[in-house]
Structure 1
Amino acid sequence: MRCDVCPRGCTLEEGKIGFCRARKNEGGRSVSVNYGKLASIALDPIEKKPLARFHPGSRVLSVGTFGCNMDCPFCQNHSISAASEEDVRTRYVSPSELARLAGELKDKGNIGLAFTYNEPMIGYEYVRDASVETKKMGMKNVVVTNGCVLPNILEQVLPWVDAFNIDLKSFSEETYRKLGGDLKTVKDFITRAAKGSHI
């Protein structure tokens, strides 16, 4: 089975996990193994995402799981982004439970959820499902991403995401190859996301 989430396109035998450490071949399908398994959760200033012009002065409940589809030697969150499930302590939080927690923090200035710390889009199903629940409460959703996923994956979350911080690592395709990414994919992601969300 060839994973169809990012341009890396890992070929996975049954039961095997991809480079990202977050997707697995189960019955010939690419399945998220980090769904709802939070390795980090914090109420952060929105500027820490960093989003300077999206609800400045507010806070956002920020969550991360584990895994990433790129291999950046300068990653500040490598302890979870370069980790597999066995390497980190996680706690399962359902999408509805996470949205409820976000709502409980409104009185502390919380505007919603931010999916961050590791690469959230490799576990897009959780981002989508939790974002749907948060939107039901009239709150915002933010995704901090490398933008290196295929267009159909972005379309799964785009209707529910209010803002993206897309980390463009370089304008060099060669640099992207060294990091395990693809510059054109990221540029296409930015172009499409900008049509529906704050960038």
Structure 2
Amino acid sequence: MSSYPAALGTTGRRRMLKNCWYIACPSRKLKNRPVARTLFGRRLVFFRSESGQVSALDDCCPHRNAPLSAGEVADGQLACPYHGWRFDRQGRLVEIPYRAGTPPDCSIHQYDCVEQDGYVWVCPGDKVPEEAPLVFPHLGLHGWTSFRMETLFAANVEACLENFLDCPHATHVHRYWFRTPTAKPVMAQVTMLEDGAVAEYFQEPREKSLVWSLLSP
């Protein structure tokens, strides 16, 4: 079942989902070149300043609409590939090559982004969450194994959320990959939160599961 308030409608749910943190890319992937990503149909570009801070802007130069992600990062500034216009991490125009004097007052929309747990997170909405992204539990702790998966899904974010939260379907759709149809009782602990719930499963059967056999210590 969907956990989104039905009264909000599709537009309201999508607006609510925009005002959340999303992983843009692994931190190690954002080095000396800009990285392009698309969220909610909007193209964004990510880059690092000279001090290593991450920044996210609209991936479009206001001069000739060229994609800034096709440009380069020079001295911590993002340079357009078409005419070389440079923008700082706040999206302000700081230099126009071959033009003397102070550049005109021009800027690109900046999005809030942070680095945490080895990832670059961004909020594509107009209302930044009051709290930082949720910390990955048990990440890097002894006795725990973590894995990362990067996949392109031909579905909207609502369908993807429901798919990942729907554990029983893996027994039939992904049989022997993640779960097997083993008739064995499983203990579960459910913790209620203000905006949802967390379910933790114990002694889940993993016999004949390819993924678990690869990830188990």
Relative to the length of structure 2, the TM-score reads 0.22
Higher radius of gyration, 1 or 2: 2
Structure with a larger share of its residues in strand = 2
Higher relative contact order (CA closer than 8 Å, sequence separation 6+): 1
Relative to the length of structure 1, the TM-score reads 0.23
